């Protein structure tokens, strides 16, 4: 069933990672209101249980939790198995992740490695667990939460930008491979959003200038825009981008260059003179 309208009948189960707060928690609310039961994944059991009580009260949907630290192999395997074994799951929303604004010379490399495990490895493994099931059923939706730093890595920490560029590239490749299978795929590229992201990243909202704070989008507006983009059939949704043609121009420029990337000889400018 398409993810449109305000359906109240049961339409499947949505598994959402990073669901205990911020963007993930808003996705949980919106998907429940669209008729989906929920399987919520996050590290903080207390926050998950509090969210469950509120969601059940407001939406009447079946809400289950799966507390898991996606940087830990056992926990990640448990979530993978849920995707493989639960035939009711028809939507995977990969929200779990964190960022950094710390420059390379000041960054803790162990923290950077943890970021890669969360933003890249876990997302990749969960995607690989879900896709064969969805393809086998000829239906399913995968929403990958990337970031505008995927295309503007100079804005924040380079490792963070690299992890989100991975999410964007994976999404585009998946679309190319799976477009005839009945699977819906979307990457969402948020800009600055009013969540605890900035505190974790090292740049608390409270320390921002008023001008900078005014550019931050609410997580509610972000998710509502992302779901509107999904309903419109977008592969890439960039909620803060007012002029869609700018992204389309970007993609057309990339497409024009692609045929010229395969040549047996180096470009003339690199040849010895």
CATH of residue 41's domain is: 3.40.50.720
- Give me the residue label for tokens 């989906």: 36
Tell whether 92 is covered by a domain: yes
Tell whether 6 is covered by a domain: no
Asked if residue 6 has pLDDT above 70, the reply is: no
Tell whether 82 is covered by a domain: yes
Q: What is the pLDDT of residue 175?
A: 97
pLDDT, tens digit, for every residue of 118-147? 999 999 999 999 999 999 999 999 999 999
Instruction: Please report the sign of the dihedral spanned by the C-alpha atoms of residue 169, residue 173, residue 174, residue 180.
Output: positive
Q: What is the pLDDT of residue 201?
A: 58
Question: Are the C-beta atoms of residues 164 and 119 closer than 8 Å to each other?
Answer: yes
Tell whether 34 is covered by a domain: yes
pLDDT, tens digit, for every residue of 191-230? 988 777 666 656 676 676 776 677 799 999 999 999 999 9
pLDDT, tens digit, for every residue of 147-202? 999 999 999 899 999 999 999 999 999 999 999 999 999 999 999 887 776 666 56
Residue 109: other Cβ atoms inside 10 A: 9
- Give me the residue label for tokens 């949907």: 61
Asked if residue 3 has pLDDT above 80, the reply is: no
Known catalytic residue at 270? no
Q: Give the side-chain half-sphere CA count within 13 A for 261.
A: 6
| Cα angle 242, 250, 17; round to 5 | 70
Reported in sequence order, the residue ranges of the chain that DSSP labels E, i.e. its strands, are: 13-17, 37-42, 63-67, 89-94, 140-145, 183-188, 236-237
Tell whether 182 is covered by a domain: yes
Tell whether 5 is covered by a domain: no
Q: What is the pLDDT of residue 213?
A: 74
Q: How far apart are CA 97 and CA 126, in angstroms?
A: 13
Which one of the listed residues 27, 128, 160, 175 is annotated catalytic?
Answer: 160
pLDDT: is 65 or 215 the higher one? 65
| Cα angle 202, 204, 206; round to 5 | 160
Instruction: Please report the sign of the dihedral spanned by the C-alpha atoms of residue 144, residue 145, residue 148, residue 154.
Output: negative
pLDDT, tens digit, for every residue of 10-21? 789 999 999 999
Q: Report the chain's terminal Cα–Cα distance, integer Å.
A: 62
Domain total in the chain: 1
Tell whether 95 is covered by a domain: yes
Q: What is the pLDDT of residue 2?
A: 44
Q: How far apart are CA 238 and CA 234, in angstroms?
A: 10
Domain hosting residue 131, numbered range? 13-270
Per-residue pLDDT band for 273 (boundaries 50, 70, 90) equals confident
pTM here is 0.91
Q: What is the pLDDT of residue 7?
A: 43
- Give me the residue label for tokens 């939706």: 141
Cα radius of gyration rounded to whole Å, the chain: 19
Tell whether 32 is covered by a domain: yes
């Amino acid at each position: 069933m398409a993810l449109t309208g305000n359906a109240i009948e049961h339409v499947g189960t949505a598994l959402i990672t990073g669901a205990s707060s911020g963007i993930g928690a808003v996705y949980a609310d919106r998907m429940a209101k669209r008729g989906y039961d929920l399987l919520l994944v996050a590290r903080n059991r207390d926050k998950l249980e509090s969210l469950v009580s509120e969601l059940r009260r407001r939406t009447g949907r079946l809400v289950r939790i799966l507390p898991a630290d996606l940087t830990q192999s056992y926990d990640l395997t448990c979530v993978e198995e849920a995707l493989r074994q639960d035939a009711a799951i028809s939507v995977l929303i990969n929200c779990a992740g964190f960022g950094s604004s710390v420059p390379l010379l000041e960054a803790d490399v162990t923290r950077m490695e943890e970021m890669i495990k969360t933003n890249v490895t876990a997302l990749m493994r969960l995607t690989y667990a879900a896709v064969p099931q969805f393809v086998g059923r000829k239906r399913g939706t995968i929403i990958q939460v990337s970031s505008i730093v995927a295309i503007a890595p100079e804005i924040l920490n380079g490792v963070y930008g690299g992890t989100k560029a991975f999410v964007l590239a994976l999404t585009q490749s998946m679309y190319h491979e799976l477009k005839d299978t009945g699977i819906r795929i979307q990457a969402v590229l948020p800009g600055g959003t009013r969540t605890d992201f900035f505190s974790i990243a090292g740049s608390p909202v409270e320390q921002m200038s008023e001008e900078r704070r005014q550019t931050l989008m609410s997580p509610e507006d972000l998710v509502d825009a992302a779901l509107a983009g999904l309903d419109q059939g977008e592969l890439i949704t960039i909620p803060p981008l007012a002029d869609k043609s700018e992204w389309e121009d970007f993609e057309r420029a990339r497409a024009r260059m692609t045929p010229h990337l395969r040549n047996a000889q180096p470009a003339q400018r690199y040849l010895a003179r």
